[in-house]
């Protein structure tokens, strides 16, 4: 039996139904699929798919997010591959599709779209009821309209060169939903490259230093010492944070947003 459905980019794909062999190339989606109950039907993941602990370790690795071993994926005989337009390379998706493998693409750029991805993935693997329950738990923590900003925030994502979160990104919307104004939203690009002086000229009240994709550590705070008049530096608000809370869409939204709201409310 087969079924035709649309992925989150509106592309139609036909796959064996229900899919019995699924490979995920997106860490947050791997977590979502296992939390929804996909279990042994998940037959492949990237080495960066590390959650949920206690479940994911038994799933074979097929390389990295940007560098999957396509032959290893194909050798698993997948009925369906889960990928993301931003996180995975177009060329890898095209190679899989050329080999006859259906690829379900996602591209969440807001918290609402992140919640929609839960339902979309559930529908794609025949776990709709579990996905609906998880999505509703996430929706319960949203406020409409979003809370007014409690802090001006700058979120760094890389060092050497420094890169920060701009507008039109999932993290930008997470910040807004958590009660922060992204001071870098007006810079050109989704993840602008900046020098630290340029970033500090935006005078953030809070600087977020997540542990992924770049693994910021306590010693990285020293780079901000020359900017002691900037509120975040002056007040000691150079915050080491869980990168997954900022950038992983899926069921963890239900806990990530309250935790970030608490951080910004500390003032």
Q: Which of 89, 117, 139 is the last residue of a domain?
A: 139
Q: Is residue 129 located within the same domain as residue 180?
A: no
Average pLDDT of the residues of the chain:
96
pLDDT in tens, 117-152: 999 999 999 999 999 999 999 999 987 666 678 899
Q: What's the pLDDT at 55?
A: 96
Is a pLDDT exceeding 70 seen at residue 252? yes
Residue 145 lies in a domain: no
Where residue 54 sits, what CATH number does that domain have? 3.40.50.1980
Sequence-distant (6+) residues with CB within 8 A of 200 are: 224, 227, 230, 233
Q: Is residue 193 located within the same domain as residue 261?
A: yes
Residue 127 lies in a domain: yes
Q: Is residue 71 located within the same domain as residue 92?
A: yes
Q: Which of 139, 164, 184 is the last residue of a domain?
A: 139
Q: Is residue 205 located within the same domain as residue 110?
A: no
2-31 mean pLDDT? 97
40-48 mean pLDDT? 98
User: Other C-beta atoms within 10 Å of 89: how many?
Assistant: 15
Question: Nearest-5° angle of CA 228, CA 151, CA 175?
Answer: 115
For the four alpha carbons of 175, 180, 183 and 185, in that order, the dihedral sign comes to positive
pLDDT in tens, 50-100: 999 999 999 999 999 999 999 999 999 999 999 999 999 999 999 999 999
Contact 8, 116 (CB under 8 A): yes
Task: Find residue 4's DSSP bridge partners.
Answer: 14
Is a pLDDT exceeding 70 seen at residue 187? yes
Residue 144 lies in a domain: no
Q: What's the pLDDT at 143?
A: 76
Give the HSE-up count for residue 230: Cα atoms under 13 Å, Cβ half-sphere: 26
Q: What's the pLDDT at 144?
A: 67
Q: Which two tokens stand for residue 21?
A: 């062999």
Number of domains comprising the chain: 2
Q: What's the pLDDT at 148?
A: 78
DSSP string, 24-36: E--HHHHHHHHHH
Is a pLDDT exceeding 70 seen at residue 160? yes
Is a pLDDT exceeding 90 seen at residue 191? yes
Q: What's the pLDDT at 62?
A: 98
Q: Which of 118, 139, 160 is the last residue of a domain?
A: 139
Q: Which two tokens stand for residue 214?
A: 């770049």
| Pairing between β-strand 12-16 and β-strand 2-6 as defined by DSSP bridges | antiparallel
Residue 85 lies in a domain: yes
Q: Is residue 135 located within the same domain as residue 184?
A: no
Q: What's the pLDDT at 83?
A: 98
Q: Is residue 132 located within the same domain as residue 192?
A: no
Residue 248 lies in a domain: yes
Give residue 68's domain range.
2-139
Q: Is residue 160 located within the same domain as residue 117?
A: no
Q: Is residue 191 located within the same domain as residue 123?
A: no
Q: What's the pLDDT at 240?
A: 98
How many residues does this entry show for the chain? 267
Q: Is residue 126 located within the same domain as residue 16?
A: yes
């Amino acid at each position: 039996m087969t079924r035709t459905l649309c992925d989150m980019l509106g592309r139609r794909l036909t796959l064996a139904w229900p899919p019995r062999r699924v490979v995920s190339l997106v860490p947050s989606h791997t977590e979502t699929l296992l939390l929804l109950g996909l279990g042994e039907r998940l037959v492949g993941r990237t080495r960066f798919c590390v959650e949920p602990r206690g479940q994911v370790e038994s799933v074979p690795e097929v390389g990295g997010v940007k560098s999957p071993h396509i032959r290893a994926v194909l050798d698993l005989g997948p009925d369906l591959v889960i990928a993301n337009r931003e996180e995975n390379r177009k060329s890898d998706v095209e190679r899989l599709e050329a080999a006859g493998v259906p690829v379900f693409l996602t591209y969440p750029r807001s918290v609402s779209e992140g919640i929609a991805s839960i339902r979309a993935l559930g529908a794609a693997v025949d776990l709709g009821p579990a996905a609906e329950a998880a999505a509703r738990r996430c929706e319960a923590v949203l406020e409409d309209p979003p809370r007014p900003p409690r802090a001006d925030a700058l979120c760094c994502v890389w060092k050497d060169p420094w890169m920060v979160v701009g507008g039109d990104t999932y993290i930008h919307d997470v910040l807004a939903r958590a009660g922060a104004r992204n001071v870098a939203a007006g810079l050109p690009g989704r993840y602008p490259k900046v020098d630290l002086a340029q970033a500090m000229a935006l005078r953030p009240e809070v600087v977020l230093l997540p542990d992924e994709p770049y693994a910021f550590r306590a010693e990285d705070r020293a780079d901000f010492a020359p900017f002691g008049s900037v509120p975040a530096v002056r007040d000691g608000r150079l915050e080491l944070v869980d990168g997954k809370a900022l950038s992983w869409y899926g069921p963890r939204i239900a806990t990530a947003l309250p935790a970030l709201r608490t951080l910004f409310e500390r003032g």
